[in-house]
Amino acid sequence: MPKTHAFRPEDTKQRVGTGHPVPFRERCAQRAKHALGDHAGLDQFGVNFTVLPPGQASALRHWHKREDEFVYVLEGELTLITDDGEEILTAGACAGFKAGVANGHHLVNRSDRPASFLEIGSRLPDEEAVYPDDDLALKMTGRRLAYSNKKGEPYG
């Protein structure tokens, strides 16, 4: 039987929610992700298929110090919120976020139906994310995540 490299998102494990510390989880609690890049064995960049139900956010508003990030909306309507304001993204719309640019961003589903998008980003083993609206910081060392408040005190 020949081996195939093709698969569908539903063939992959679905992760619902977020790894954010408890005080911040609710905004993304119903977010559903399929790690397509992991399933394909990729290690230089990540690809996620994400579904956001109404009222949910893709993440807390953030920016990355070292990793580029790109999103492509597949279905539905999402509100992109950045330091520059708000924009409505619908199927076929894209947005990119350059590493090191201090402009926090996230997607929020304010519509009455689910929306889906692809999220593509670098996979650096060491990274930091800044959350301008919340007392939260993320530091990743060797792909191990550590959340703290902005003073550096760990959550947990």
For residue 107, the domain's CATH number is 2.60.120.10
Q: Full-prediction pTM beyond 0.95?
A: no
- Mean pLDDT to the nearest integer, 60-77: 97
Asked which of 36-40, 70-74, 91-95 is least confident by mean pLDDT, the reply is 36-40
Is 151 domain-assigned?
Answer: no
CB 61 within 8 A of CB 104: yes
Is 17 domain-assigned?
Answer: no
Distance, CA of 62 to CA of 59 (rounded, Å): 8
Is 1 domain-assigned?
Answer: no
Q: How many domains does the chain have?
A: 1
Q: Scan for tokens 């494990």, then name that residue.
A: 13
Q: Give the confidence band of 3 by pLDDT, cuts at 50, 70, 90.
A: low
Distance, CA of 7 to CA of 23 (rounded, Å): 36
Q: How many other β-carbons are positioned within 10 Å of the β-carbon of residue 10? A: 8
Q: Does 34 score more than 80 pLDDT?
A: yes
Is 99 domain-assigned?
Answer: yes
**Domain span holding position 31:** 25-126
Is 72 domain-assigned?
Answer: yes
Q: Determine the pLDDT at residue 1.
A: 38
Is 20 domain-assigned?
Answer: no
Distance, CA of 31 to CA of 27 (rounded, Å): 9
Is 145 domain-assigned?
Answer: no
pLDDT one-digit tens code per residue, 81-137: 999 999 999 999 999 999 999 999 999 999 999 999 999 999 888 999 999 999 999
Is 3 domain-assigned?
Answer: no
